[in-house]
Amino acid sequence: MILETITMGSLISTGLLLGLGLTMDACAVSMANGMQEPNMKKGKMTYIAFMYGFFQALMPLIGYFCGNALYTNIPQIKEYHLIPITALVILLFLGIKMIIDGIKDMKDEKEREKEIREVRKSLTFKVIFIQTIATSIDALSSGLSFSNYFVWQALIVVGLVMLVTFVASFIALIIGKKFGVKLGNYALILGGIILCSIGLEIFITGMIG
C-alpha cells in the first residue's frame, strides 16, 4: 500500500530540500548566463528561470511515474525496503558528483570565466533548451526516491521543486550579472550536500518505518 501517513509538513520539507539540491546545477549555469549577458532584460530572465523550473520538475515527475508503477506492482520492492535503499544510492551519487564537480571547477575558475567572456554565445531558445535538458537530466532518477507517494503528493513535491528552481535561477541570473560565476561552484557543493542529506534521511526513515 502506498504511504498514507506522510504529513503535509514532510511533503513540503521534501519538496523544498529536493528543489534546493537539484537546482544548484541550474544556478551555476544561470550565473554564467548572467555574466555572459549583463544587460539581459527581466522578461528574458523570467523566461529562462521558468524553463529551468519546468524541466527540473518534469524530470523527477517522469522518474516518479516509472518508479510508482514498479512499487505498485512488485511486492518485493516494499518488502525489502528497496525504495529507501534506491533513494540513498541515487541521491548520494548525485550529491557526491555535484560536490566533486564544484571542487574541480574551483581549480579552473579563471579559465572558466575567460571562456565565458570569449564565447559570448547568444542565449537563443535552442541554447536555453539544451541547457535546461543538460542540467535537469540527472533529476530524472531522483523521482524514484519518492515513488511510494500518491500522485497528488508527488505533484506537491515537484511543484515545490519547480518553484524553488524558478526563484533560485532568477536570483542566480542577477548574481551572475553583478558578480560573475564564482559563487556557482559553492552552489554546486551546497546542492550536493543537501542531496546527500535527503538520501540519508529517506533511508533512515524508510528502514525504521
State the average pLDDT over residues 176-183: 70
C-alpha cell at 46: 523570467
Burial state string for 147-182 with b = 16 or more CB within 10 A and e = fewer than 16? bbbeeebbbbbbebbbbbbbebbbbbbebbbeebbb
- Integer CA distances (angstroms), 8 to 151, 154, 170, in order: 14, 12, 27
pLDDT range class, residue 161, cuts 50, 70, 90: very high
- Contacts of residue 170, Cβ cutoff 8 Å, sequence gap at least 6: 30, 45, 46, 49
Averaged confidence pLDDT in the chain: 79
Q: In whole angstroms, give the CA distance from residue 160 to residue 18.
A: 9
Check: CB of residue 154 under 8 Å from CB of residue 64. Answer: yes
Model confidence, pTM: 0.73
* C-alpha–C-alpha distance, residues 160 and 153, integer Å: 11
Cβ neighbours for 208, distance < 8 A, ≥ 6 positions apart:
none
The amino acid occupying position 183 is L
Q: What is the pLDDT of residues 91-137, one digit of tens each?
A: 788 788 878 877 876 656 555 555 455 444 567 888 888 888 887 88
Residue type, 142: S
Per the CB < 8 A criterion, the answer to whether 33 and 123 are in contact is yes
**CA 185 to CA 190: how far, in whole Å?**
9
pLDDT single digits (tens) 144-159: 878 888 899 999 999 9
CA distance 145 to 133: 20
